[in-house]
Structure formats: C-alpha cells, structure tokens
C-alpha cells in the first residue's frame, strides 16, 4: 500500500503600497518586504517601510563578514545558569553564542543565527559550540559543581545523521557524562521534519543525552507528539512568564503547562524570569526549574565559575547552621 504523504505549505508575502516612479522600484520594495517576511520567520506578510532597505543592506554586509567569522575565531560562548525552583541551586548552564564583530562590537544570535542557517554555516559553527560546551562542562564538573550543560541546536544540524556522530564524538573527546548534556531544540525545528528529527533525537538520547524543547508554547507541537517524542524537559517560553502576573489567565496557562509536564513526567523549566513575583508564582505552581535575569544573566566562562563557586560557598556555610537557604535569599551570589 502506498503511504500517504502529508505536506504543509506556508507562504510569505511582501507588500508595497505607495506610488512609485517606476515598476522596478515598486517591485524592489515588495521584494525587500518579502525578504523581511522571510527573515522574521516566514509564513507571514510584511508591508514595506523605508527603514527596511537599510536593514536588508546591513544583513547582506553581515552575511559577507560571517563567512570569515569562524576561521577568524570571532565566535565565543557565554553561559546562563538554570536553577532548581525549590532550593534555588544552580542545575546547569546554557551555552549562548556571541559574535565579536570587528566593527560592530558584539552581535547577538538573533541577528546572525538565521544567516548561519541560510548559508549552512550553522553546521560547522554548531559543531564547534557543541564541542566547546562539552569541554567547559567537564571543567566545571571536575571542579566539583554538579551542573549540566545545555546546547541549542538548529534545524539544519538535525538534517543528517552526521549530527548523531558529532554528539557522540563531542562526548567522547571531552569525557563529559552524557547525562550532563542537554540539547535544546525549538518546537518549530522539531515539527519541520518530524520523523527524521525524532529518529535522530532518539539516537542521541540512547547515548544518555537529555532533550529539551526550547521556547515551548510558541510552535505547533501537538500533545500527541509530546507523548511520542523523546523529550526530557519543556522550556516554557518567556512570553508566558511575562504574562504571568498580568491576569488570572496568565497564571492558568502556566498551571496547565506545568501540569502537562507532570502528567507526561517531563521536567518544566520557566524561561526569562525577571521579577520576584514571577518567581514566587512559579514556585507556587511547582514548576521544576527556571532561568532568567533575576537569577543570573549570561556570563563568560570565568564569571560563571565565580558564580558557581559563590553559590557553593554560601550553600556549604549555611548547610550546617540554619539548614536550607530560603528561596529568596540566594537570588544572586
């Protein structure tokens, strides 16, 4: 019997309106708007605005510079701690890439990851991030910190079986315990090529590596998928956290997401906690862990080490006396 193939097609539309002196100009504007629509994540329409031309030129310039960035060693990693909401102890560090551009200072990933993806450069860059993160994870663990390391993975990296080999090699070359590595994949990435992607994720999970869905709640994964997929953690997108204190609906949503995690035995991690009130509500809902500027911002490796040391010192000095630290007393070291 022939298998049914399900295809989902999306369209991006660029719209130009105002009167133009020539058809060429008019089409060029529509083209720039289309480019912007694709840049913003496709599947949307964008109306042309004059500033877009500048943005498009700037992107083109960045794309040219990006070609040499890897060989010039211009990428580096910063790390943002995640923490256990029940006792505020650090549970891991997420590696976040930065680009030290020769003239623009530090460029943030949202401004160049899409370019790396469209040029396939994400594959060697992603591999480098994975290797360096595993090495760094080993350094922290050897220093006595029981933390994991989380690495963001792009859709393109999951397009071939080479990814599984890269993960296996990064683990064996660094000596990192597989259970200390979490790979973060966005919902959209997961759904892009569901069968192949989940097969590859299952293969890395067999090695003992953990899988987390990043920005959860912003994509299209269905509950049926969640149950079937090899997933260890849901990272609840920041947009849910920032709406948490606005209305009862915001709280109801978080409640539902946390309960969903519990029902499926999947850890829930709240992203982007900025306010003490958000933290308190998430603790009340028994969300497992968190991440956000309130606890710690992304920092370089040395500052991360200082952070972990400070926490360990404080923890060991309070352990014999007053018992566990109270949740609010250890927001920053």
- Interface residue with Mg ion among 214, 278, 285, 288 (CB under 5 A) is 214
* Contacting Mg ion within 148-167 (CB under 5 A): 152
- Interface residue with ligand C2E among 110, 222, 265, 316 (CB under 6 A) is 110
Least distance (Å) from ligand C2E to the CB of residue 215? 5
* Contacting Mg ion within 169-198 (CB under 5 A): 184
| Stretch of residues binding ligand C2E (CB under 6 A), selected from 37-45, 195-203, 220-228, 292-300 | 292-300
Distance CA 62, CA 320 (A): 54
* Contacted entry of Mg ion, ligand C2E, none for residue 251, CB cut-off 5 to 8 Å set by kind: none
Q: Does residue 90 belong to the site contacting ligand C2E (CB under 6 A)? A: no
CB atoms within 10 A of CB 280: 15
* Contacted entry of Mg ion, ligand C2E, none for residue 52, CB cut-off 5 to 8 Å set by kind: none
Least distance (Å) from ligand C2E to the CB of residue 184? 6
| Stretch of residues binding Mg ion (CB under 5 A), selected from 47-55, 212-220, 277-285, 290-298 | 212-220
Measured from the CB atom, the residue of 31 and 117 that comes closer to ligand C2E is 117
* Contacting ligand C2E within 32-51 (CB under 6 A): none
- Interface residue with ligand C2E among 97, 176, 257, 281 (CB under 6 A) is 97
- Selection from 273, 266, 263, 213 nearest residue 240 by Cα: 273
- Interface residue with Mg ion among 29, 132, 187, 215 (CB under 5 A) is 215
Contacts of 242 (CB under 8 A, 6+ apart): 272, 274, 278
Q: Does residue 299 belong to the site contacting ligand C2E (CB under 6 A)? A: no
* Contacted entry of Mg ion, ligand C2E, none for residue 285, CB cut-off 5 to 8 Å set by kind: none
Q: Does residue 267 belong to the site contacting Mg ion (CB under 5 A)? A: no
Q: Does residue 137 belong to the site contacting ligand C2E (CB under 6 A)? A: no
Least distance (Å) from Mg ion to the CB of residue 244? 16
Contact positions vs ligand C2E (CB under 6 A): 80, 96-97, 108-110, 113, 126, 129, 152-154, 184, 214-215, 238, 271-274, 291-293, 298
Contact positions vs Mg ion (CB under 5 A): 152, 184, 214-215, 271
């Amino acid at each position: 019997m022939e298998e049914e193939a399900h295809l989902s097609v999306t369209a991006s539309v660029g719209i130009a309106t105002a009167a133009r002196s020539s058809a060429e100009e008019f089409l060029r504007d529509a083209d720039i708007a289309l480019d912007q629509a694709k840049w913003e994540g496709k599947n949307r329409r964008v109306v042309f605005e004059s500033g877009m031309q500048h943005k498009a030129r700037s992107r083109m310039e960045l794309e040219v510079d990006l070609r040499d960035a890897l060989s010039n060693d211009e990428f580096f990693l910063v790390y943002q701690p995640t923490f256990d909401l029940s006792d505020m102890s650090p549970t891991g560090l997420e590696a976040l890439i930065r680009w030290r551009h020769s003239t623009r200072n530090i460029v943030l990933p949202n401004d160049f990851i899409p370019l790396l993806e469209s040029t396939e450069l994400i594959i060697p860059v992603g591999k480098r991030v994975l290797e360096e993160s595993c090495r760094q994870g080993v350094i922290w663990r050897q220093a006595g910190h029981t933390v994991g390391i989380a690495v963001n993975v792009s859709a393109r990296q999951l397009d071939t079986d080479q990814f599984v080999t890269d993960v296996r090699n990064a683990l064996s070359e660094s000596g990192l315990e597989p259970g200390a590595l979490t790979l973060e994949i966005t919902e959209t990435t997961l759904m892009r090529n569901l069968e192949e992607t989940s097969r590859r994720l299952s293969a890395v999970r067999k090695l003992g590596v953990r899988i987390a869905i990043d920005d959860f709640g912003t994509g299209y994964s269905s509950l049926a998928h969640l149950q079937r997929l090899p997933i260890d953690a849901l990272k609840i997108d920041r947009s849910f956290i920032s709406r948490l204190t606005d209305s009862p609906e915001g709280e109801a949503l978080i409640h539902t997401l946390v309960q969903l995690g519990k029902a499926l035995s999947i850890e829930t991690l709240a992203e982007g906690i900025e306010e003490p009130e958000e933290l308190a509500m998430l603790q009340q809902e028994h969300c497992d862990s968190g991440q956000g500027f309130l606890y710690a911002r992304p920092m370089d490796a040395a500052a991360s080490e200082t952070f972990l040391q400070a926490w360990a010192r404080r923890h060991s000095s309070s352990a014999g006396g007053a018992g566990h630290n109270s949740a609010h007393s250890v927001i920053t070291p």
